[in-house]
């Protein structure tokens, strides 16, 4: 994983962790490393993030716990270059991340992909709170019907309860701020591929902080301990 890398794995993972977790730019990290006697270019740090963020997310997802039974779903705008794209997100009633999906478009197809991904990763919810955007409602009904037909237990499942109201989704709109606050120092993304990787890394960090992994059941672990557990450097 770290073969042929000029810098030690501990330095690489430190930069990746700090970039994804805190409101730092790549040049901030370059300066911070220089203060520690490590001369590394900000472009190199960016390559580390693109290379290792997906590996960290994959390792974390293999130990990720299912979310709660009441979901809040919404999408937020993310600027890539000169275009607006979308980040579909869902949290449960405890504020824990259910699922997320980066999409170039906001339509029924994107909403279906998001709900299918969320259903595959988590236990079936009892209720979902949505805004009034009709595409999300249409997509949810379609995916819910598919899920009920594939039910292996042979039980007749009731449709998921859908709630819609003016202020009901304030909880997830507040959750969006954690993501927006983190990407503000980045001054925008240059490509969809880059945005997808970095946003996935930021969401993974948020789930780590919320203790959403099986290994965190017995005792809370800080980010450094979780990184060392997921990707051993020795």
Model confidence at 2: pLDDT above 90:
no
Residue 87 belongs to a domain: yes
Q: For 46-60, 122-136, 170-184, 209-223, which range has the lowest pLDDT when averaged over its residues?
A: 209-223
Residues 85 and 121 in one domain: yes
Asked if residue 52 and residue 117 are part of one domain, the reply reads: no
Q: What whole-number distance in Å separates Cα of residue 207 and Cα of residue 205?
A: 5
- Chain segment 63-84, per-residue pLDDT in tens: 999 899 999 999 999 999 889 9
Question: Token digits for 72?
Answer: 């809040």
| Position 141 in a domain | yes
With 90 as the cut, is the pLDDT of residue 146 above it? Answer: no
Percent of the chain with pLDDT over 90: 73
What is the average pLDDT value for the chain, to the nearest integer?
91
Which residue in the block uniquely carries the two structure tokens 């980066």? 102
Answer whether residue 144 is part of any domain: yes
- Residue 3 in any domain: the answer is no
User: Is the predicted pLDDT of residue 234 greater than 70, yes or no?
Assistant: no
User: In this predicted structure, what is the pLDDT of residue 156?
Assistant: 72
**Residue 140 domain flag:** yes
CATH of the domain at 178: 3.30.420.10
In three-state secondary structure terms, 213 is strand
Question: Considering the domain boundaries, does residue 139 fall inside one?
Answer: yes
Whether the pLDDT of residue 53 is over 80: the answer is yes
* Parent domain of 40: 9-63+213-230
Sheet holding 161-164, edge to edge: 97-103, 83-92, 70-80, 127-130, 161-164
pLDDT of residue 169: 87
Asked if 172 and 90 touch (Cβ cutoff 8 Å), the reply is yes
Alpha carbon distance 28, 110 (integer Å): 35
For residues 139 and 217, the model is more confident at 139
| Residue 129 and residue 226 in one domain | no
Helix axes 9-21, 42-61, angle to 10 degrees: 80
Rounded distance, CA 102 to CA 116, Å? 14
DSSP 8-state assignment for residue 214: G
Please give the average per-residue pLDDT across 110-118, as a whole number: 96
Looking at the structure, do residues 132 and 55 belong to the same domain, yes or no?
A: no
Do 82 and 139 belong together in one domain?
yes
List b or e across 122-148, with b for residues whose CB sees 16 or more CB atoms inside 10 angstroms: beebeebbbbeeeebbebbeebbeebe
Pair 80, 48 in one domain: no
Rounded to two decimals, the pTM is 0.91
What is the spatial distance between Cα 185 and Cα 25, in angstroms, rounded to a whole number? 5
Q: What is the DSSP letter of 189?
A: B
Mark whether 86 and 168 lie in a shared domain.
yes
The total number of structural domains that make up the chain:
2
């Amino acid at each position: 994983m770290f073969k042929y890398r000029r810098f030690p794995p501990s330095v690489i993972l430190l930069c990746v962790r700090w970039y994804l977790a805190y409101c730092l730019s790549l040049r901030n990290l370059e300066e911070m490393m220089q203060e520690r006697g490590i001369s590394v270019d900000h472009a190199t740090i960016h390559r580390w993030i693109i290379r290792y963020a997906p590996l960290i997310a994959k390792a974390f997802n293999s130990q990720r716990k299912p979310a709660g039974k009441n979901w809040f779903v919404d999408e937020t705008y993310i600027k890539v270059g000169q275009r607006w794209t979308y980040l579909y997100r869902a949290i449960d009633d405890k504020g824990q991340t259910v699922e997320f999906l980066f999409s170039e478009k906001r339509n029924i197809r994107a909403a279906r992909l998001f709900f299918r991904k969320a259903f595959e990763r988590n236990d079936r919810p009892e209720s979902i709170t949505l805004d009034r955007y009709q595409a999300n409602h249409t997509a949810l009904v379609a995916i819910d019907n598919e899920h009920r037909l594939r039910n292996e237990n042979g039980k007749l499942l009731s449709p998921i309860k859908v709630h819609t109201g003016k202020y009901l989704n304030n909880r997830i709109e507040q959750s969006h701020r954690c993501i927006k606050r983190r990407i503000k120092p980045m001054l925008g993304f240059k490509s969809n591929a880059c945005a997808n990787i970095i946003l996935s890394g930021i969401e993974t960090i948020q789930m780590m902080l919320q203790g959403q992994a099986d290994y965190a059941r017995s005792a809370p672990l800080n980010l450094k301990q979780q990184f060392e557990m997921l990707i051993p450097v020795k």
